[in-house]
Amino acid sequence: MRKILPHVIVWVLGLATVLWAEAPKKAGPPAGTKPAPAVQSSILPTPLPADQFQGRVREAYKAANEIPDVLAGLACYCGCDKSHGHRNLLDCFVDDHGAG
């Protein structure tokens, strides 16, 4: 028994090491598949006409009409994304939200 015990201990430790080293693999997407690209709309909302406003507000709406693609790429930090569902700064000028 004393001659077999060291061999059994070595064999058990070796088996435990192999089983511990081979962690189960997590299931992922099938090989060769790519995630679908995000769909972006190329149609931008139209800001209100600048002539409906006065002063600096008019200038802001004029700029929104001249460079809508730039404003569509900017985040608005007034919280309107939560309160009005706006996605970007251009959405603020689609209604009179940008005036206030």
Q: Answer yes or no: are the C-beta atoms of 97 and 78 closer than 8 Å.
A: no
Q: Answer yes or no: are the C-beta atoms of 53 and 61 closer than 8 Å.
A: yes
DSSP readout, 65-85? HH-HHHHHTS---SSHHHHT-
Residue 92, pLDDT > 50, answer yes
pLDDT score at 66: 96
Please compute, for residue 81, the number of CA atoms within 13 A of its CA located in the half-sphere on the CB side. 9
Q: Which pLDDT tens digit goes with each residue over 1-15?
A: 667 766 667 665 665
Q: Rounded mean pLDDT of 83-95?
A: 87
